Amino acid sequence: MTLAGYQNVVCLPGPRHSVCLSDTHGTHKGAVFARTVPGPAGQATVNHLVNTFQSTAGRPTTPVSLVNFGEAVNFPLILGIVLVVFGGATLLHLLVVSVIRRRREMGLLKALGFVNRQVVATVLWQSTTIALVGIIVGVPLGVIVGRTVWRVFATNLGAVPVPTVPTWTIVALVLGVLVFANLLAVVPAMASARRRSVGRTALTDSVTTTKSTSNCE
């Protein structure tokens, strides 16, 4: 490789880009990159090249900051757990508030013929709809933001940013969100199904009033 090609590989964009260009300008005229087969034979070849060209040969290295970051804390996993906890709490609060505010509407539907199974299904569909909206908006936005943040982070560490999108992991995440949302909705749905209908409540009040009037007479 020429000096310009070597600098394009070694001096990645970032705060130290200009410093790297000045350091390699006077000490290098070019470079040769070699790749060996994996295993003992390839390692023996690498050792031979390093021993032959001791002053100029170097082994591949991983940025220490990147290694320390991966060993010290699994940041994506912790962030994901925190988001799941807050998202689940928000969804559960929304469902409980919705069931409380719409108890009269649910009672009216039961008076018109809704059975408990249909009331439960209504709440479950509401939870599924909220989860689907979050998935449709959150997954593409999360992929875009994640790729951008990783590019900036890896570039600042001096590593080559190669973001990947795990398709099967995202599919499993989507299915898990839908199942989790419906599990959260079971308790509010059962509570809404146990409430009496508007017609039954009115009939009970009428009977109570009639009995009270009769007793007075």
Q: Are 118 and 197 in contact (CB under 8 A)?
A: no
| Global model pTM greater than 0.95 | no
* Angstrom distance (rounded) from CA 58 to CA 64: 16
Q: Which helix (H) or strand (E) holds 18?
A: helix 17-25
Residue 135: CB atoms within 10 A of its CB come to: 17
pLDDT band for 211, please (50, 70, 90 cuts). very low
Closest CA to 133 of 101, 90, 183: 90
DSSP letter string, 92-113? HHHHHHHHHHTHHHHHHHHHTT
User: With 60 as the cut, is the pLDDT of residue 214 above it?
Assistant: no
User: Which residue has better confidence, 200 or 66?
Assistant: 66
pLDDT in tens, 60-70: 666 666 666 66
| Beta partners for residue 2, in sequence order | 30
* Angstrom distance (rounded) from CA 178 to CA 198: 32
